[in-house]
Structure 1
Amino acid sequence: MTYPTEDTERDLVLTRVINAPRDKVYRCWTEPDLLKQWFAPNPWSTPSVEADVRPGGASRITMADESGTEYPNPGQYLEVVPNQKLVFTDAYVGDWQPSEKPFFTTILLFEDAGDGRTRYTAIARHWNADDATAHKQMGFHEGWGICAAQLEEVAQRL
Structure 2
Amino acid sequence: MTGTENDLVLRRVLDAPRAAIWRCWTEPDLLKQWFCPKPWTVSDVRMELWPGGEFMTVMNGPNGERFENTGVFLEVLAGERLIFTDAFEPGWRPVGKPFMAACVTLSDIDGGGTQYDARAMHWTAEAKAEHEAMGFHTGWGIAADQLEALARTL
Q: Is the 8 A contact 1:45 1:63 kept in 2?
A: yes
Q: How does 1:34-53 map to 2 (within 5 A)?
A: 34-53=30-49
Give the fraction of aligned pairs with identical amino acids, expressed as a percent: 47
How much does 1:113 deviate? 1.3
- Give 1:29's aligned amino acid: W
- Give 1:143's aligned amino acid: G
Q: Aligned pair in 2 of structure 1 residues 3, 18: CA closer, same or farther (>3 Å)? A: farther
* SS of residue paired to 1:122: strand
- Give 1:130's aligned amino acid: E
Q: Deviations over 1:2-37 (max 9, x none)?
A: 489xxx520000011111111111111111000000
How much does 1:114 deviate? 2.4
**Normalising by structure 1, what TM-score?**
0.93
Instruction: Compute the RMSD of aligned alpha carbons.
Output: 1.4
How many angstroms apart in 1 are the aligned matches of 2:84 and 2:2?
15
How much does 1:67 deviate? 2.4
Regions of 4+ moved over 2 Å? none
Counterpart in 2 of 1:91?
87
Q: Is the 8 A contact 1:9 1:132 kept in 2?
A: no
Q: Aligned pair in 2 of structure 1 residues 28, 3: CA closer, same or farther (>3 Å)? A: farther
Counterpart in 2 of 1:9?
5
Alignment: residue pair count: 154
* SS of residue paired to 2:64: coil
How much does 1:138 deviate? 1.0
Whether 2:21 is the aligned partner of 1:25: answer: yes
Structure 2: 5+ residue stretches without partners: none
How many angstroms apart in 1 are the aligned matches of 2:26 and 2:86?
16
How much does 1:151 deviate? 0.3
Q: Deviations over 1:91-138 (max 9, x none)?
A: 011121112210000011101112330000000000011111111111
**Normalising by structure 2, what TM-score?**
0.95
